[in-house]
Homo-oligomer: A and B are copies of this chain.
């Protein structure tokens, strides 16, 4: 794929790619090497035209009468999503959520490697998260100076996040996965992906109240 084509991918499509990636991975695990947009459509519960619209721009994978080459498409999406490399990750805030993330086996499998965890709570420091000994937050800055860290996971209360985020940025961290319930101010050369769980549950409560409204009609 040429870079020009790549640049045309909208963030809306990018957000759908992990789901395609998951389904294509499942197909590969089951030894299925090609699939039509119609069959993929049935599996994924989206229209075939949506699938063609999303995937046909990635070069000549969807040939008429042949369908998609699962392996090539999987490899292409993997590359687009930046999953063809390893990321060094640290966790800041090793409470339950930080622990949950550190223990999640899929991250390692996808190339996200936890190399450090930090907390300010003395009851937590010294314990392990995954296979990592949790360090005191005062060790964060020296750690960043000595190690290449690509991604920092922020799972700390919102009032602490704005204090930590500049330390990360100044020490070369370029990716922040932000679970803290606040928007971070970061320069253009840093990317932030918010994972605000409260916002997710509010979308659910919206859908539930719409459902109840429709039932009453």
Contacts and interface: CB of A to CB of B under 8 A. Distances in A.
A17 B103 contact: no
A99 B101 contact: no
A60 B181 CA distance: 29
A138 interface: no
Q: A interface, by DSSP: helix, strand, loop or mixed? A: helix
A1 interface: no
A168 B49 CA distance: 33
Interface stretch (A33-41, A67-75, A105-113): A105-113
Interface of A: 3, 14-15, 17-19, 21-22, 44-45, 80-83, 85, 87, 95-97, 99-101, 103-104, 106-107, 110-112, 150-151, 174-175, 177, 181, 183, 189, 191, 193, 195-213, 215
